[in-house]
Amino acid sequence: MTGFVLFYVGAVLVINGLWLLDRIDGREIVVINLVTAVVSGAVVLHDAFGVGANAGSIRNATLSLLFCTTYLWVAWNRLSGGDGRGLGWFSLFVAVTAVPVASRGFLGAGTGAEFWMAANWLAWAVLWFLYFMLLTMRLHIARIAGWITLLTGIFTGWLPGYLMIEGML
């Protein structure tokens, strides 16, 4: 299911990146954020509460729920007119959480895939920290955040997710 979720994470990050780059209207990102939240939320529920749930799958569900929550929150803010500061503080929480996940991943990496996943967590930590700086600290970095969101979506989500669902990775 990793490829399935990563594919949609890639889609949402690419679309959100285009929004941050002012290429599309904020109302249009609601659908992809909700779809990705539902898709990743279903996997979270399966991993946390499914028949084969174990410590490893519950850990994965816990970490994946950080992303699911982010996408729900983005959609909520677009629908409700929220200013994003709460999401910014949550983004800091995600960024701070992702750093030790990446560190643990690098330290324990025994394969190229494990090293790649650790690098993804590091990229996501940087990305979510940018969201904190953009939304809560109100720094004028939307263009930088947009490009990094777009590129992170392509290289940590869409491309590897596509290769996984095609059986090429």
- What pLDDT, in 10s, does the model give residues 75-117? 999 999 999 999 999 999 999 999 999 999 999 999 999 999 9
Number of domains in the chain: 1
What whole-number percentage of the chain has pLDDT above 90? 98
**Token duo for residue 54:** 């174990």
168, pLDDT greater than 90: yes
Rounded Cα distance, 156 and 133, in Å: 21
CA distances from 48 to 42, 63, 64, 70, 93 (A): 10, 11, 10, 18, 21
In our burial notation (b when 16+ CB lie closer than 10 A, e otherwise), range 14-29 reads bbbbbbbbeeeeeeeb
- What pLDDT, in 10s, does the model give residues 16-74? 999 999 999 999 999 999 999 999 999 999 999 999 999 999 999 999 999 999 999 99
What is the pTM (predicted TM-score) of this model? 0.94
Which domain, by its residues, includes 51?
1-166
The one-letter amino acid code at 117 reads: M
Q: What is the CATH number of the domain that holds 136?
A: 1.25.40.600
1, pLDDT greater than 80: no
- In the prediction, which pLDDT does 2 show? 87
